[in-house]
């Protein structure tokens, strides 16, 4: 069974996280991703921990670059630039996540590459995008979390600023870039023309503010951190049981009634303070006091089973190690062994499940730097083999 993007060739100049996450998604869907790396150095992420026990290979790099091919080109060298341009003629997509202007300085910007291949999809992921006054500014994940307002609504009330626990600035940008690439490929089927996809990490963070923007527009006040609590649905937060914390998400009045039944407090259903979601939100401190007293009487596991059996969304707050024994994660094939390593190594599976996308038992290892130099030249340049130094 073929994968959805089988036959699509991607020349991938990206490094670290945002771009490699995008091209990992494309590879999961069947694209042939050819990673272009600096000779002798490679993707910066090759030097990021954690490392396997031998200390030579980065588990972090392996988790983002599984199943890709690697060639080494020095894009400041005329011979290697010429090889790169010839490869552009043979691929569908070029991806990069340099600071805007970098590719133009190398003589490899979109305007140049589309002259070489008018059908090329050129996808650029950057901190602030390829237009606007901040376009050339440097950015990392935490920079855009701060600039976008995401950090301003993350953490506990009156606490110090907190970044989201995963790199959502990079990852969301990678996801939006992949979406843009697939959309551009689809449009090319109609028009026969390529185009440039320009995705900014900052834009991605603004795009996911959803409720925060709506609240500001209605109230005129900037939202603040609320900890684990939802800003407009109650009860929808973390609660402390006898032996730890878990979450309850009673998203409507019907679920509120079921929760009251689950904890043996049916009297709360018609309590005027808590009758509607608006009432519960207005009286959240009183509500949390009542719920806190009841929920402290049993363990997390006891409450999760009872509340779940009443049809109310609930979950323990799992640590990462517990995911490996989580039946639902296992059933969805979301933790896969990575082939080709002496040590056990698991990575996230493909979250996009499709009827015509076969599930895999494992994922192929990440490439060594320059491992596919000769293979790619033989395959794409039809045996006309300019010399690439194997490093």
Domain harbouring 304, CATH code: 3.30.1540.10
63 and 194 co-located in one domain: yes
Q: Encoding tokens for residue 187?
A: 């449009």
52 and 146 co-located in one domain: yes
300 and 362 co-located in one domain: no
CA distances (Å), 43 to each of 21, 35, 182, in order?
13, 9, 24
> In the prediction, which pLDDT does 389 show?
52
The catalytic site residues sit at 230
**CATH number where 86 lies:** 3.40.50.10540
Query: Would you say the C-alpha torsion 101, 107, 111, 116 has a positive or negative sign?
Result: negative
Assign 52 a pLDDT band (cuts: 50, 70, 90).
confident
Q: For residue range 83-120, list pLDDT tens digits in order.
A: 999 999 999 999 999 999 999 999 999 999 999 999 99
CA distance 287 to 100: 51
> In the prediction, which pLDDT does 391 show?
44
CA distance 212 to 67: 38
Backbone angles phi, psi at 109, to 5 degrees: -70, 175
Q: Are 128 and 200 in contact (CB under 8 A)?
A: yes
Assign 390 a pLDDT band (cuts: 50, 70, 90).
very low
Assign 384 a pLDDT band (cuts: 50, 70, 90).
low
| DSSP E strands, the chain | 9-12, 32-37, 69-72, 93-96, 121-126, 195-200, 236-240, 245-249, 314-316, 335-338, 346-348, 362-363
Is 388 among the domain residues?
A: no
CA distance 20 to 154: 26
Is 49 among the domain residues?
A: yes
CA distance 284 to 203: 33
> In the prediction, which pLDDT does 53 show?
73
Q: For residue range 332-375, list pLDDT tens digits in order.
A: 999 999 998 877 889 999 999 999 899 999 999 999 999 999 99
CA distance 242 to 303: 10
pLDDT at 387 over 70: no
Q: Which of 321, 342, 364 is the last residue of a domain?
A: 321
> In the prediction, which pLDDT does 344 show?
85
Tell me the residue length of the chain: 391
89 and 139 co-located in one domain: yes
CA distance 78 to 332: 48
CA distance 58 to 345: 11
Dmax (CA) of the chain? 81
> In the prediction, which pLDDT does 34 show?
98
Q: For residue range 32-41, list pLDDT tens digits in order.
A: 999 999 999 9
Q: Encoding tokens for residue 310?
A: 């009443």
Is 276 among the domain residues?
A: yes
29 and 115 co-located in one domain: yes
Question: Quick one: average pLDDT of 267-275?
Answer: 96
107 and 167 co-located in one domain: yes
Q: Say which residues have a Cβ less than 8 Å from residue 178's Cβ, sequence separation at least 6.
A: 22, 23, 25, 26
Q: Are 92 and 121 in contact (CB under 8 A)?
A: yes
Is 193 among the domain residues?
A: yes
> In the prediction, which pLDDT does 388 show?
57
Is 163 among the domain residues?
A: yes
Is 109 among the domain residues?
A: yes
pLDDT at 2 over 60: yes
Give the domain range for residue 31.
Answer: 9-208+334-380
> In the prediction, which pLDDT does 343 show?
78
| DSSP E strands, 208-264 | 236-240, 245-249
114 and 36 co-located in one domain: yes
Is 246 among the domain residues?
A: yes
pLDDT at 263 over 60: yes
pTM of the model: 0.93
CA distance 73 to 77: 8
Q: Encoding tokens for residue 264?
A: 């043996």
Count the domains in the chain. Answer: 2
> In the prediction, which pLDDT does 383 show?
62
62 and 98 co-located in one domain: yes
Separation of first and last alpha carbons in the chain:
35
Question: Quick one: average pLDDT of 265-277?
Answer: 96
Assign 270 a pLDDT band (cuts: 50, 70, 90).
very high
Q: Encoding tokens for residue 204?
A: 């991605």
348 and 307 co-located in one domain: no
Is 226 among the domain residues?
A: no
161 and 307 co-located in one domain: no
> In the prediction, which pLDDT does 170 show?
98
Q: 12 pairs with which residues across the strands?
A: 35, 95
Q: For residue range 141-196, list pLDDT tens digits in order.
A: 999 999 999 999 999 999 999 999 999 999 999 999 999 999 999 999 999 999 99
As a whole number, the mean pLDDT across the chain is 95
92 and 133 co-located in one domain: yes
188 and 282 co-located in one domain: no
Q: Are 92 and 380 in contact (CB under 8 A)?
A: no
Q: For residue range 185-227, list pLDDT tens digits in order.
A: 999 999 999 999 999 999 999 999 989 999 999 999 999 999 9
CA distance 110 to 362: 36
């Amino acid at each position: 069974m073929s994968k959805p993007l089988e036959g699509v060739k991607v020349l991938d100049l990206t490094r670290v996280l945002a771009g490699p996450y995008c091209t990992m998604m494309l590879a999961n869907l069947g694209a042939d991703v050819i990673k272009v790396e600096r000779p002798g150095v490679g993707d910066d992420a090759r030097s990021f921990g954690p490392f396997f026990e031998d200390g030579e290979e980065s588990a972090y790099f392996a988790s983002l670059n599984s199943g890709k091919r690697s060639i080494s080109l020095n894009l400041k060298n005329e011979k290697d630039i010429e090889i790169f341009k010839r490869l552009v003629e043979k691929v569908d997509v070029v991806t990069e996540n340099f600071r805007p202007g970098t590719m133009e300085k190398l003589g490899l910007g979109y305007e140049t590459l589309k002259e070489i291949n008018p059908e090329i999809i050129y996808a650029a992921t950057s901190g602030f995008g390829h237009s606007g006054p901040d376009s050339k500014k440097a950015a990392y994940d935490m920079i855009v979390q701060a600039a976008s307002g995401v950090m301003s609504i993350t953490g506990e009330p009156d606490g110090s600023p907190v970044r989201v626990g995963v790199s959502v600035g990079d990852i969301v940008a990678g996801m939006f870039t992949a979406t843009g690439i697939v959309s551009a490929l689809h449009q090319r089927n109609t028009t026969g023309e390529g185009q440039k996809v320009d995705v900014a990490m900052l834009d991605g963070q603004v795009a996911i503010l959803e409720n925060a923007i709506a609240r500001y527009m209605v109230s005129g006040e900037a939202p603040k951190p609320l900890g684990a609590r939802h800003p407009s649905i109650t009860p929808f937060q973390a609660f402390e049981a006898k032996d730890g914390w878990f979450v309850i998400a009673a998203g409507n009045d019907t679920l509120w009634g079921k929760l009251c039944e689950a904890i043996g407090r049916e009297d709360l259903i018609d309590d005027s303070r808590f009758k509607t979601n608006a009432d519960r939100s207005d009286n959240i401190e009183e509500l949390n006091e009542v719920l806190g007293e009841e929920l402290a009487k049993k363990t997390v596991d006891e409450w999760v089973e009872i509340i779940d059996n009443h049809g109310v969304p609930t979950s323990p707050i799992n640590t990462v190690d517990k995911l490996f024994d989580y039946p639902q994660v296992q059933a969805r094939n979301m933790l896969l062994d990575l082939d080709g390593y002496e040590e056990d190594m698991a990575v996230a599976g493909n979250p996009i499940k499709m009827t015509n996308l076969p599930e895999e038992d494992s994922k192929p290892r990440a490439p060594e730097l320059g491992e596919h130099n000769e293979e790619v030249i033989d395959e794409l340049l039809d045996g006309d083999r300019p010399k690439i130094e194997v490093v």
